[in-house]
Amino acid sequence: MTEAHVAIELVKAFGFPALLFIVWYVYHRAENEKWKIYLEQVKDDHAKRFEEFNRIIEQQEATRNQIFKLLQDAIEATNYHSNIIARIEQKVDTNQFCPLVRKEKAGS
């Protein structure tokens, strides 16, 4: 028996209360379908947002790694410059910086 036949038999057997029950049942089933569709849409929306957040996090991680590499290179350059400046300072302190002084020391 289909649902329509069952509904007709219920209305014949129980009258108006059965009709109210059938209307409620059809309405309830329609509401369930609407909620299923709504929940699927929410699920899909959340999945898209999750993917976007993961992509953003990956981009930030890549950016952070690039900045870290740049900072390491800057530290290396700073150390190199500090060493060069220390050598120049040492030469100035020992009067080896001036070419005239070097020639005088070499000639003596």
Going by C-alpha positions, the residue among 3, 36, 37 that lies closest to residue 22 is: 3
Q: What is the pLDDT of residues 51-100, one digit of tens each?
A: 999 999 999 999 999 999 999 999 999 999 999 999 988 877 777 666 77
pTM above 0.75, yes or no: no
- Based on the structure, what is the number of domains in the chain? 1
Give the structural domain span for 61. 3-107
Residue 34 burial by CB count (10 A; 0-12/13-18/19+): exposed, middle or buried?
A: exposed
Amino acid found at 95: N
Residues 6+ apart with CB under 8 A from 19: 11
SS3 content of the chain, % helix, strand, coil (to 5): 90, 0, 10
The rounded distance, in Å, linking the Cα atoms of 70 and 87 is 26
